[in-house]
Amino acid sequence: MDHIDQQALLAKNNESALEDLIAEQKSFILRCASKEAGRFLTDSDDEWSVGLMAFSEAVQAYEEDKGGFLSFAATVIRRRTIDYLRSQQKYSNEVSVAPEAFGGELEEEPSALQLEVQSVTAEMADENEDSQPGTSAAKDEIEAVQQILRDYGFSFFDLTDCSPKAGKTKDQCGKAIAVIMLLEHPPLMEKLRASKMLPIRELSLASGVSRKVIERHRKYIIACAEILSGDFPILGTYLSYVRELARQDG
């Protein structure tokens, strides 16, 4: 039995041991809750309190035959966080949770960029007081993109919800992004940055992509255009399909 499993069993009937375990696993609790919330959480967020109570619940329910404690606790935290988000009527708007979390299967594959958002969200939540700033190049890039997207009125982490998943839609968005960038139509990129608004009608005409698709994935298109036209080599690798589409069209 792992040390953490032994700690959990001890903490069931020992308040001091439970407090020590919670303090030791604070970053784990935040990481689990952040994954379900689809954004970086701190201990000032309500989801932290939900995760904390779920962790304590997991300690009380844990037995050796349930496998590793952290895996068991992660499941309990995930379920309680989802229940909370649903009760707050935030679930459909603020969180992107894989369907398998409810016992189902994926209908569509998440986009590569969406996976990167989720991965780095978890990484940021996992940092503790001993972490050194700037240890993650991907995190540094995301923080820089955050500054840019703030002027457009949305967050990088909004991409967990608005990234295209279906292959056809992804290709359509890719065509629109390729057009708006400096690849083919510099005036459109200049207009975007000057007005902080996506020139939907002009972009639709230039790319052949329907206005409906562009409007639905507006945030994703803007973010990708800024990433690909900026100095973001790591995030840019997840959008290589856009450059490929541009080469094909060219």
The string of pLDDT tens digits covering residues 52-68 is: 999 999 999 999 888 89
Q: Which of 57-66, 179-188, 195-204 has the lowest mean pLDDT?
A: 179-188
Would you call 225 helix, strand, or coil by DSSP? helix
What is the number of other CB atoms lying within 10 angstroms of the CB of residue 198? 22
**Contact indicator for 48, 30 with CB cutoff of 8 Å:** yes
Last residue of a domain, one of 102, 123, 155: 102
Range of the domain at 235: 111-250
Question: What average pLDDT score do residues 144-160 get?
Answer: 82
Cα(246)–Cα(227) distance, rounded to whole angstroms? Answer: 15
Final residue before a domain boundary, out of 71, 102, 133: 102
In angstroms, the CA 23 to CA 150 distance is: 33
Domain count, the chain: 2
H helices of the chain, in order, are 3-11, 15-24, 26-37, 46-61, 69-87, 91-94, 112-125, 137-150, 159-162, 167-180, 186-195, 200-207, 211-216, 218-228, 233-237, 240-249
Q: Residue 6: what pLDDT? A: 92
- Residue 69 sits in the same domain as residue 115: no
- In this structure, the answer to whether residues 183 and 231 fall within a common structural domain is yes
* Res 106 pLDDT > 80: no
Examine the domain organization and report whether 72 and 192 are in the same domain.
no
Residues 127 and 72 in one domain: no
pLDDT given at position 89? 58
Q: Are residues 77 and 119 in the same domain?
A: no
131 and 232 both lie in a single domain: yes
Residue finishing a domain among 102, 125, 158: 102
Q: What is the pLDDT, as a whole number, of residue 128?
A: 41
pTM of the model: 0.51
210 plus 145 within the same structural domain? yes
Residues 8 and 64 in one domain: yes
Each residue's pLDDT tens digit, 110-141: 455 555 455 554 554 444 444 444 335 767 78
Residues 132, 218: one domain? Answer: yes
The CB density around residue 12, as the number of other CB atoms within 10 Å, is 13
pLDDT reading at 179 higher than 70: yes
User: pLDDT higher for 57 or 159?
Assistant: 57
Report the distance separating Cα 200 and Cα 176, nearest Å.
10
146 and 178 assigned to the same domain: yes
Query: What pLDDT score does 101 carry?
Result: 31
Q: Are residues 183 and 71 in the same domain?
A: no
Q: Do 173 and 70 lie in a common domain?
A: no
| pLDDT, mean of residues 163-183 | 77
Burial 163-189 (b: 16+ CB within 10 A, else e): bbeeeebbebbbbbbbbbbebebeebb
Query: pLDDT-derived band of residue 147, with 50, 70 and 90 as boundaries?
Result: confident
195 within 8 A of 210, measured Cβ to Cβ: no
Burial (CB < 10 A; 0-12, 13-18, 19+), residue 102, is: exposed
| Orientation angle between helical segments 240-249 and 218-228, nearest 10 degrees | 90
Q: Please, how many CA atoms are within 13 Å of residue 109, restricted to the half-sphere of its CB?
A: 6
Of the pLDDT bands very low, low, confident and very high (cuts 50, 70, 90), residue 102 is very low
